[in-house]
Every structure is written in structure tokens, then in C-alpha cells.
Structure 1
Amino acid sequence: MMGCVEDAHAEDPVTLTVYADARSGIASPVDLGAPGDSPGDLFVFDQPLLNEARENIGSNSGFCVRTLPGQFNECQWTLTMADGTITVTGRESDTGTSYIPISGGTGAYLGVRGMLATTPNGDRTFTQVLTLIKAK
């Protein structure tokens, strides 16, 4: 899985599937403003990032700001792996699949663009499918 972006030709998309595991690591809500789910509340996390075999390959860490209670957050997080990082930034829904743009990368992922589709699995894990395009 690591370095697969290096093998891609410019403009040929590469798909990676990873899993964020919110059952362990840090997952801390920060209740700001009105008590309960309200605009401006924060959620801060640093959780294991797993490959398709469910082996630990790094971390999934970042934060979300509640924008529409019960429905949406504006989030930024970084997938950290041995060969580099991928940062995503965008709107995440409480339910269903959210499509979030890649905002940058380092190491093997330097210059990549694309999208992350993240889907909650109902067990505090998330399936995250990255569609990566290597810059020319």
C-alpha cells in the first residue's frame, strides 16, 4: 500500500482504502457555547489508522468544528503513514458518506490531489477511501 502513488502516472487515479478506528486513541468532544450539540463545539481526535487487513499503519488525527447541530461539521485531519502524510479539509456529515477534498501531502504524497470518501461503519470505525492523483 505504501508508496503506491509513486507508481502512478500523472493524472491516473490511485485508490487506497484505510480505516480510522475511533474505538481507541483520543476522541474528545469540547462543548462550547450552549450546553449540548451547538454551533462552535469542537471534536479533537488522534486515532489509529488501519490498512485493509486491519493492521496499524499510522494515525488519523485532527479536529472538527460543529457547524449545523445534528448534521454537519467542518473538519481538518491528517492521515500519517510511514511514507508521508495526507491532509484533508472539508464538510463531514454525521450520517452517510462524506466526500472531502485532499488539501496536501508530504513524502510519497507530496503534490497529490484528490478526494477522501469517509463513511461511518456504526461501530466507531470509519471506512476511508482515498482517490489520489499524483501531480505532473
Structure 2
Amino acid sequence: MTKTTWIAIAALGLAVPAHAAPAATMDFVERADTDTVSVKGGSAADNVGDVMTFTNPIYDAANTTKVGTDQGYCVRMIVGKMWECHWTTTLATGQIMVDGPVGDAGDTVLVVTGGTGAYRGVRGEMSIHARDAKASAYDFHFRL
């Protein structure tokens, strides 16, 4: 920013947000037990507009103790490559909502749009990583 811009911001009393380190990180494992695709976009096995819905258990990072659930949906945007997803992860102390594109291959980062309870007003991101080639479970890494 120029000196004039900074003076104008100061004169208006506006705060400029600083980029801060995440306040909290949390790691979980989602077991993709209920992922179901409904063909909505055509007659092929994979179509733009298909919808995947799920309600899956969430486990601690060691994948041993169930700590919550998630539920949501994804819409196929690019055949064989990309979904657009929205879901809520429910834990004992509140819910965390995420949105964003999820690719068929590789890791993905989604935006955390908010939460309830202990997560009220949170913002940040969540990365997901498939634990195997069948995508039967995912690592969830929240940075809030």
C-alpha cells in the first residue's frame, strides 16, 4: 500500500487484518461408510450434476475412538475430477461447517465457514487426505 492509502485508512479508523497463525489445530479420521452417489446429471456412471450424500463417523487421529459424525453432500462438477462439497462435522462440543471443491485425486483444502458451540465464529481451513486408494477413510486436519 502507498503512504497515502495508509494515511486514509488511519484517518477513517479502519483496522487492517493481520495474517495470524492458526489458533487451534485438530486432527480426525472420517470413515467413509455411507458415501452414496445418486445419478442426477445423465445416464452414465459419472455425470456433471450427480449428487453424493453421506453421514459418516468421525474418529480421533489414531482412528480408534469415535468422537463425532459428519453429514453433507457433494455435487459432481467435472466428470472424473472434481466435486463441490458442503458438510458439517459434529463433535461433542459443537459443529464445524466446511465448503469447497474436492478432487478425485490428491489432497484437498476446504474453507471452514463457521461453527457452533465451542467453534462459534471459527474461520480457517480443513485439509483432507484419502487414507487408501479406495477412499474408504480420510484424514481431516482442521486449522482454525
TM-score, length-scaled by structure 2: 0.80
- CA-CA distance at 1:12 after TM superposition: 4.7
- In the alignment, the residues of structure 2 paired with residue 17 and residue 114 of structure 1 have an alpha-carbon distance, to the nearest angstrom, of 14
Partner of 1:34: 42
The alignment covers a number of residue pairs equal to 120
Offset, 1:33: 2.6
Runs of 4+ in 1 over 6 A off after TM superposition: none
**How much does 1:59 deviate?**
0.3
Q: Counterpart of 1:40 in 2: which secondary structure?
A: coil
TM-score, normalising length: structure 1 = 0.84
Larger fraction in strand = 1
2:90 maps to 1:80: yes
Deviation per residue, 1:55-106 (Å, 9 max, x gap): 1001021000000011000000111001000000111111111010001100
Give the percent of matched residue pairs that are identical in Structure 1 and Structure 2: 32
- Structure 1's unaligned 5+ residue stretches are 1-10
Cα distance, 1:48 vs. partner? 0.3
Higher RCO (C-alpha 8 Å, min separation 6): 1
Which of the two has higher C-alpha Rg?
2
* Equivalent residue, structure 2, for 1:92: 102
Q: Report the Cα distance in structure 2 between the residues aligned to 1:45 and 1:21, rounded to whole angstroms.
A: 11
Counterpart of 1:117? 127
RMSD: 1.1
Specify the code of the residue in structure 2 equivalent to 1:51.
Answer: D
Letter in structure 2 aligned against 1:38: N
